[in-house]
Amino acid sequence: MTATYRVMGIVNVTPDSFSDGGSFLDPDAAVAHACALSAQGADILDIGGESTRPGAEPVSADEELRRVLPVLEGITGAGVDAQISIDTSKASVARAAIAAGARIVNDVSALRADPEMAELIADSNTECCLMHMLGEPRTMQQAGGPQYKDVVDDVKAFLEQRLEFAVRAGVHEQRIMLDPGIGFGKTTAHNLELLARLGELTALGRPLVVGTSRKTFIGRIVADLAGEAEPLAADRRLPGTIATNVLALERGASVFRVHDVAPVRDALAVAAATLSGRWTARAGTTQTS
């Protein structure tokens, strides 16, 4: 087995994201953060101007553009090696972002929110990521909880349908990634089932994106183990994030969307060397325990 992967660093230019909302609203701070993630080894920088956390309220295209365009322009001007991704479901935002240097459109609606998005992606020949989400951010975790007949089968059928839709719209299949949407309209049990059976989604034939970074279900699992009533705070969820990403790599995922690039990348490097069995020391290094 040869384990290859890309790490996608998260740059939230929002006041209300669940983990780092407000930290990078200033464009200079966001650009500096993006450059730091690139230096840590991020292959992709995912820039988002609208929170998609549970209960998040939508923002206008104008406001989203006001937040992300200076950051995109700053990153492009800084000459980072990483690809730039725009995290948006609005074609107008994606169009401006592509003009500013974005080469990936990360659409959590899987091309359902804006009828112009599929044509834009096809015409611009950008990569795209299509994600499963039950409902929308405002409603996806409502009281009563999300329901599935079989979460893996249901997510797989949805992603297959959206992949077919995108290809029919002219998007080249080789430029499409798929994301099962961990935490987007799923309970903790659903998230764990998806991670455990992630290999079943590889049958769709496209790179799988996994975004578990700092998510509540990780904090809830660890808190339950410790007998704590509330989930661990987001800044205490790195070990669980690493565990879920290593497991996802073993099960066939190849793109990992994370806040903490350096430690996750180190963990994936060790896991990939183990899975491939083909690690070779660089010349001049000493192989010891």
- The answer to whether residue 173 is domain-embedded is yes
- The answer to whether residue 227 is domain-embedded is no
**CB burial of residue 60 (10 Å; 0-12, 13-18, 19+):** exposed
Has 278 been annotated as catalytic? no
Has 149 been annotated as catalytic? no
**CB burial of residue 42 (10 Å; 0-12, 13-18, 19+):** buried
CATH number at residue 85: 3.20.20.20
- The answer to whether residue 47 is domain-embedded is yes
Facing residues of 178 across strands?
Answer: 130, 208
- The answer to whether residue 274 is domain-embedded is no
Residues 208 and 152: their CA atoms lie apart, in Å, by 14
Q: Which of 53, 186, 206, 215 is catalytic?
A: 215
**Number of structural domains the chain divides into:** 1
- The answer to whether residue 278 is domain-embedded is no
- The answer to whether residue 197 is domain-embedded is yes
Digitized pLDDT (tens) for each residue of the chain, 289 residues in all: 445 899 999 999 987 555 554 567 789 999 999 999 999 999 999 999 998 877 677 899 999 999 999 999 999 999 999 999 999 999 999 999 999 999 999 999 999 999 999 999 999 999 999 999 987 765 655 655 788 999 999 999 999 999 999 999 999 999 999 999 999 999 999 999 999 999 999 999 999 999 999 999 999 999 999 999 999 999 999 999 999 999 999 999 999 999 999 999 999 999 999 998 766 666 665 566 5
| Beta carbons of 267 and 238 less than 8 angstroms apart | no
pLDDT at 92: 98
pLDDT at 236: 93
pLDDT at 71: 96
pLDDT at 1: 43
- The answer to whether residue 34 is domain-embedded is yes
Tell me the residue range of the domain where 36 lies.
Answer: 6-211
Q: Which of 67, 95, 257, 265 is catalytic?
A: 257
pLDDT at 2: 47
Structure tokens at 183: 């935490």
Residues 212 and 255: their CA atoms lie apart, in Å, by 11
C-alpha closest to that of 176 among 249, 115, 107: 107
- The answer to whether residue 27 is domain-embedded is yes
Place of tokens 């994600």: 131
